[in-house]
Amino acid sequence: LATGDAEFRVKSHNRIEELRAEAGTVFLVAHNLEEVEMTCNRVIWMERGRIVTQGTDVIGIIDRYIEASGGEPVMRDPETGERIGGGRKKVSAADQLI
């Protein structure tokens, strides 16, 4: 999904949704966390072939993965949980003083 152009990604995403509707279960192995967040209602986080955590709290697991990987925190709307802006917050010295 990450390698195609925008048209290919939309077509692929639509096909995944069709398969979910028909089959009920689709295994998506991906590193694109936004695609995982948009597509999945259950996730398994694996490291070196072992399950770190799994569950239906897709956003929570993704956020913990980003934090554990040294990534910047994701800014989310407190009511909807959706990403705000570019999705990542840059922490400045001023932010840390507040």
Residue spans of the domains in the chain: they are 1-40, 43-98
Tens digit of pLDDT for each residue in 73-92?
777 788 887 777 654 444 44
Tens digit of pLDDT for each residue in 33-79?
888 888 888 999 999 999 999 999 999 999 999 989 888 777 778 88
Whole-structure pTM value: 0.66
Task: Spell out the long-range contacts of 84-88 with Cβ–Cβ below 8 A and sequence spacing 24 or more.
Answer: 87/34
Tens digit of pLDDT for each residue in 6-33?
888 888 888 888 888 888 788 888 888 8
Helix (H) or strand (E) holding 53: strand 50-55
